Amino acid sequence: MAFLGLVIILLIVLFLPFLVKKVEEELEIFLFAMGALAVTITAQWHAGLVKEALYAPVKITAAVFLAGFAFKLFQSPMAHHVNRVAARLGVKRFVFLVIILLGFLSSAITAIIAALILVEVAAHLKLDRRNEILFVVLACFSIGFGAVLTPVGEPLATIAAAKLQGAPYYAGFFFLFQHLKFFIVPGVVLFGLLGALLISNKNLYSRSLIDTHKENLQDILLRTAKVYLFVMALVFLGRGFKPLVDACIAKISWQGLYWINIISAVVDNATLAAAEISPVMSLLQIKSATLGLVIAGGMLIPGNIPNIIAAGRLKIKSSEWARYGLPLGLAVMAVFFFALIMIQS
């Protein structure tokens, strides 16, 4: 009965946020409830789990809180200089630098703050709508890639590091960086190069993506609380789904895990990481599953936190995002799949 209950909860977690707008809007509370239910039906409540759930979100929450204040201070000056810098460097060089810098910085300032900086840059960069949307999509792919390198970057990395901190991996702060850097670093540079190649500056003086909202203390505190609850929810989901993972997912080949995780395009990749990543998996399974989650997470708006933030603030429609995100993500997944094969051969 517990196994069947976990399958039902997993299906609800995967599809309800995509089907019900209210659930998507209150995703943190929904995931917390589902995680608590999963732990309950598998009878895994104990003091150690509660302590882990309270402690796991601390680093990323603190980073979000501090970076939020820093962003608030520099928000207006940054917006004022965007086009001045772009004109001096040239739009293509500017786009290249922004995409790779946000990608690499996201592992330190968090994907959330990197996405907020992207919103400011895109809102003030004078390009036509087609080029601005392409810029935002490429930058969000880059942010999603870079953020996975440290547990501070995004919840996916936080959860993965927490679940692998014991035997046999004893994952530390730089565990994911150590094992994924040869994929992630070239990936971030690739998105920057694509931005420089594909984005045109022929319509430099038009403006279509505008976000007029200014950060205040309430925004910072609310976002910090949501991130804390979100990561806590993922800890409960990960522990609750452990019996299901050990029985099923851990036995799937690395190739299967990689391509199954294309579902991350429609479900936040941290949620899937909480359900999948387990210390019983081989290192190759962990690497392929994580890469599949990170790449597919950029394809559609619901797949990753930066996508949701940027699309919501800049009023980008799902169809507009998919026009660039889907073909780009599928192409990158194919390239990285062959890279994984070559490394193993």
Name the nearest CA neighbour of 87 among 123, 119, 127.
127
Q: How far is CA 37 from the centre of its chain?
A: 25
Maximum separation of any 2 CA atoms in the chain, in Å? 64
Which of 160-164, 190-194, 215-219: highest mean pLDDT? 190-194
DSSP one-letter string for 31-97: HHHHHHHHHHHTT---HHHHHHHHHTTHHHHHHHHHHHHHHHHHHHHHHHHHHHHHHHH-HHHHHHH
Alpha helices in the chain (DSSP H): 2-19, 21-25, 27-41, 47-55, 58-89, 91-109, 111-124, 129-147, 155-163, 175-198, 217-240, 242-247, 254-260, 269-276, 283-296, 305-314, 318-344
- pLDDT more than 70, % of the chain: 90
Handedness of CA 148, 151, 157, 163 (dihedral sign): positive
DSSP state for residue 303 in the 8-state scheme: G
Name the nearest CA neighbour of 58 among 199, 224, 254.
224
Residue with structure tokens 């989901």? 237
Q: Residue 235: is its pLDDT beyond 90?
A: no
**What's the mean pLDDT when you consider all of the chain?**
85
Omega of the bond prior to 168 within 30 degrees of 0, cis?
yes
Interacting residues of 168 by C-beta distance below 8 A, sequence separation 6+? 279
Structure tokens at 222: 């609310």
- pLDDT more than 90, % of the chain: 36
pTM, two decimals, is 0.78
pLDDT tens, position by position, 109-154:
889 889 988 988 888 887 888 999 999 999 999 999 999 999 988 8
The pair phi, psi for residue 313, each rounded to 5°, is -75, -30
Predicted pLDDT of residue 206: 54
Distance CA 100, CA 188 (A): 6
In the chain, where the domains are located: 2-344
Predicted pLDDT of residue 137: 97
Which of 56-65, 67-76, 87-96, 219-228: highest mean pLDDT? 87-96
Name the nearest CA neighbour of 192 among 110, 134, 111.
134
pLDDT tens, position by position, 173-185:
899 999 999 999 9
Q: Residue 103: is its pLDDT beyond 60?
A: yes
Q: Residue 291: is its pLDDT beyond 60?
A: yes
Of the listed ranges 40-54, 86-100, 192-206, 220-234, the one predicted with least confidence: 192-206
| Residue 126 burial (CB count, 10 A) | 17
Q: Residue 345: is its pLDDT beyond 80?
A: no
Predicted pLDDT of residue 256: 92
Predicted pLDDT of residue 74: 66
pLDDT tens, position by position, 243-286:
877 777 767 899 999 998 888 786 668 777 877 888 888 999 99
